[in-house]
Amino acid sequence: MLTDTTTTPVYELTKPDKKFIGWHIFFAVTALTIGSLFGPLQALEHAGVDLYPRLDFLFVEFNGVNSYYQGLTLHGVLNALIWTTFFITGFTTLVVIRGLKRPLAMPLLNRIGFWSMVAGLVVAAIPLLGNKATVLFTFYPPMQADNLFYIGLVLVVVGSWIEGWGFMLTLWRWRKENPDTKTPFIVLAAVINVVLWQVATLGVAVEILALILPLGFGWVSGIDPQLSRTFFWFTGHPLVYFWLLPAYISWYGMLPKQAGGKLFSDSLARLAFWLFLILSTPLGFHHQFVDPGVPAGWKYVHSLLTFGVGFPSLLTLFTVVASLEYAARKRGGKGLFGWIRALPWGDGSVTAQLLAGILFIFGGIGGVANASYNVNLVLHNTAWVPGHFHLTVASAVTLSFFGICYWLVPHITGKPLWRPQLALASSWIYFAGMLIFSNAMHTVGLLGAPRRVPLGLAPYVPSEWNGHLFRVAVGGSIMWVGLMLFVVVVAVTAFQRKRLPEGEHIDVPVAESLDDPNKAPAWLDRWKPWLIAMVVLIILAYGPQLIDQIAGIESTSPGFAP
Amino acid sequence: MSTPETTHESMHVDPAERAWIRTSIVVLVVFAISVTIAGFMLGIQVPTTEQRVNPQTIQDAPPWSEPGVREIVAGEQYEVYVVAKRFFFEPNAIELPAGAEVTFYVTSTDVQHGFSIRDTNVNFMVIPGEVSKLTTTFDEPGDYPYICTEYCGLGHAVMFGSVTVTP
């Protein structure tokens, strides 16, 4: 049997809570399924195989070029924004309830939040599917989508805030009830991520509410595109940590248990999360290294701060690998690297996350290049960039979420995982496709191939790119097969009639730590100093530029339809 | 102020992890120093704030009313003014001598674009309301395509031009 089956659950979630979490996963996986349809179409287009004309029924306003960008917009919005946000809020609900062994403080609040996210998704889907919001997932002004697109996004973000307030309130109640106990690591980490999200999304909230919608409603005649970018990227980088930290929660706090071991260091895991909280936001200019309206000095400062956030990432690498090594040696693993073979590679949930971690090492190395101020000149807006973030959000995050789903769906449905061998195969296939795809994307990017271009139509593609673009198509298609296997396994698991045998139960894997969490220093369980540090760092890193750019606002750009 | 000894807590850090932490810090500092040397001693620089403009009126007056190459010192120093608009560059063909110092000034009259010259460090965003500026030298004669690297609409894929570098 895959993962842990016990007869006496440590803490049983209520049926309505399980159902509530299930709705999150349902919308998340549905978004991923639709969004990913376009992945292989884009990849094949690069290799000269344009399937869009055969799929014109998918697009309201058919036209060969149109559908590429519309598909790319759907791919980015549904995969990067919707799949992640819905999965993460659902997973956080589970982590908070199970970690605190306590129901949500105000379940209604969380339900209001969730259904406003769903409402936002529906509202945004109308212009997206109608080709009225083909602005890609960065929606840079003065290109303008239908107002409904932005209103939908606002509803999704506000809904996620409301759910977040529900999580914070629950933790706050629990701390009142348990004044002498340290917050369990997974809950502390999950709520840190919630707080990070609330702060990070302020940027895009200001961008949409103060700049984009006033133009959209015709209250003003123009917009300042540079200022919009600065607000967007205030959110844009911590956004990737919002995606990544739930995977880290699993790697630190769950995977060691699944592998038969313990978390190597509870204190350092907590420290890493606090550092992510304070360091994830004040470095957004590293996405704007080649923007004309940001002074080079501030770009340099943000480059250094980006190296700073590399530190908790390296801490994570050590602690996660050490925890896995501990588990493997307990299972009889030997040798300097030989222990790796002793990990439970037969378990689809564990394997998905191990492969996610391996891909993320390459993602991290590439990320250092992106962060490096002037090295970025040869990478910016090339195919390297999507090559990079497919190793992060589409591997470290998505493949880990696959692994989590392989125990989470049985846990909340009370049904056994359908065909565990297919679950295992899905991760390996996705992994193999990703290796080919991302390697080709990085390489062709270094040769100068731009991102966001239907290269099959571009007149400037030299023949030396063709071999790499062919590998993009092969890798992208293989990835899609792995992803569809995941969808099928999870869907059949959830909707099958078969249930787990009476009295059998799949518990949430929560790892104990080798060190006693209650002996950890008190400053690792105190919010105030870290929140102050976060605010101070943001003011120092962003304050002067925000004041300058806002004071110098020039709203001279009228809107343009895509 | 006195703190009872019994409440003193310290963080347990494994020796191997301590060594890893030290190594991590050293590695990150080395990266930071490398970037600093490349940027500020070798002069490999990113664009910085240049000039704010009005995208709606910018082409009413020089230099943007007549984009193209300006010779400052023959064979040695040139300025190139490029206007990006959906879906072409003005001009879309540029001729320059090898070995000269060339400064590109690029702006947009409509949406955001990108400007990237293949096999050079010239690669930046083009944002309406701003002027992007970067200096480079073409050492080898040949053709250097420049392309739009930010999605700007339906014709994005065909938005390009070419620098011809003569010996």
pLDDT score of A1: 38
CA distance A65 to B87: 14
CA distance A469 to A452: 14
Closest CA to A89 of A175, A201, A208: A201
Provide the token pair at A449. 């191939």
CA dist A388 → A41, A283, A336, A361, A376 (Å): 19, 18, 30, 11, 13
CA distance A401 to A396: 9
CA distance B89 to B159: 7
| One pLDDT digit (tens) per residue for chain A, 562 residues | 345 555 566 788 999 999 999 999 999 999 999 999 999 999 999 999 988 877 766 665 544 456 899 999 999 999 999 999 999 999 999 999 999 999 999 999 999 999 999 999 999 999 998 889 999 999 999 999 999 999 999 999 999 999 999 999 999 999 999 998 999 999 999 999 999 999 999 999 999 999 999 999 999 999 999 999 999 999 999 999 999 999 999 999 999 999 999 999 999 999 999 999 999 999 999 999 999 999 999 999 999 999 999 999 999 999 999 999 999 999 999 999 999 999 999 999 999 999 999 999 999 999 999 999 999 999 999 999 999 999 999 999 999 999 999 999 999 999 999 999 999 999 999 999 999 999 999 999 999 999 999 999 999 999 999 999 999 999 999 999 999 999 999 999 999 999 999 888 899 999 999 988 778 888 999 999 999 999 999 999 999 999 999 999 999 999 999 9
| Catalytic-role residue among A24, A286, A390, A442 | A390
Q: Confirm if A167 and A105 have CB atoms less than 8 A apart.
A: no
Closest CA to B136 of A377, A11, A515, A59: A377
pLDDT score of B119: 93
| Ordered DSSP codes for A104-142 | -S-HHHHHHHHHHHHHHHHHHHHHHHTTS--STTT--TT
Give pLDDT < 50 ranges for chain B: 1-8
Half-sphere exposure of A313 (CA within 13 A, CB side): 23
Triad A248, A252, A258: Cα angle to 5°: 115
Q: Confirm if B90 and B82 have CB atoms less than 8 A apart.
A: yes
Are A296 and B133 within 8 A, CB to CB? no
pLDDT score of A5: 56
Closest CA to B129 of B51, B34, B32, B49: B51
CB atoms within 10 A of CB A162: 19
Structure pTM? 0.95
Which domains can be identified in chain A, with CATH numbers? 5-551 (1.20.210.10)
Provide the token pair at A522. 């008190």
CA distance A110 to A123: 20
- What are residue B52's DSSP bridge partners? B130
Provide the token pair at A203. 């940027």
Q: Is the minimum CB–CB distance between A39 and chain B shorter than 8 Å?
A: no
CA distance A229 to A108: 36
Residue whose token pair is 């000039």: B51
Phi, psi of A102 (to 5 degrees): -155, 145
A462-466 contacts, C-beta under 8 A, 24 or more apart:
A466/A47
Per the document, the length of chain A is: 562
CA dist A509 → A10, A17, A251, A323, A411 (Å): 10, 18, 11, 14, 10
Whether A388 is catalytic is yes
Strand B77-85 and strand B88-90: the pairing is: antiparallel
User: What does the DSSP 8-state code read for residue B67?
Assistant: -
Interface of A with B in 474-533 (CB under 8 A): 515, 519-522, 524
pLDDT score of A265: 92
- What are residue A557's DSSP bridge partners? A223
Provide the token pair at A90. 């659902």
pLDDT score of B6: 40
User: What does the DSSP 8-state code read for residue A371?
Assistant: H
CA dist A557 → A213, B110, B132, B135, B152 (Å): 14, 7, 16, 27, 14
Q: Confirm if A191 and A184 have CB atoms less than 8 A apart.
A: no
CA distance A228 to A225: 5
Q: Which residues of A touch B125 (CB under 8 A)?
A: 229, 288, 290-292, 380-381
Whether A286 is catalytic is no
CA distance A374 to B34: 10
SS3 B142: strand
CA distance A281 to A442: 26
Provide the token pair at A63. 């036209």
Q: Is the ipTM of this complex over 0.90?
A: yes
Distance in Å, alpha carbon of A47 to nearest chain B alpha carbon: 15
- What are residue B136's DSSP bridge partners? B102
pLDDT score of B13: 83
CA distance A370 to B46: 13
Q: Which of A143, A290, A457 sits opposite B123 (nearest CB)?
A: A290
Q: Which of B21, B45, B129 sits opposite A557 (nearest CB)?
A: B129
| Catalytic-role residue among A24, A98, A237, A287 | A237
| Catalytic-role residue among A389, A401, A406, A486 | A389
pLDDT score of A65: 52
Cα torsion A323, A327, A330, A334: sign: negative
Residue-range domain boundaries for chain B: 12-44, 58-166
Provide the token pair at B100. 């000269």
A338's CB contacts (< 8 A; 6+ apart) are none
Q: How far is CA A272 from the centre of its chain?
A: 18
pLDDT score of A64: 47
Q: Confirm if A120 and A150 have CB atoms less than 8 A apart.
A: no
Whether A270 is catalytic is no
| Catalytic-role residue among A167, A241, A406, A542 | A241
- Single-letter residue type at B153: G
Interface of A with B in 180-239 (CB under 8 A): 224-226, 229
Closest CA to A256 of A4, A534, A543: A4
CA distance A409 to A395: 20
> Considering the domain B58-166 in this protein, what is its CATH number?
2.60.40.420
Triad A251, A257, A261: Cα angle to 5°: 105
Q: Which residues of B touch A372 (CB under 8 A)?
A: 31, 34-35
Q: Confirm if B64 and B58 have CB atoms less than 8 A apart.
A: yes
CA distance A282 to A466: 39
A50's CB contacts (< 8 A; 6+ apart) are A44, A64, A454, A456
Are B31 and A372 within 8 A, CB to CB? yes
pLDDT score of A9: 66
Q: Which residues of B touch A293 (CB under 8 A)?
A: 49, 52, 127, 129-130
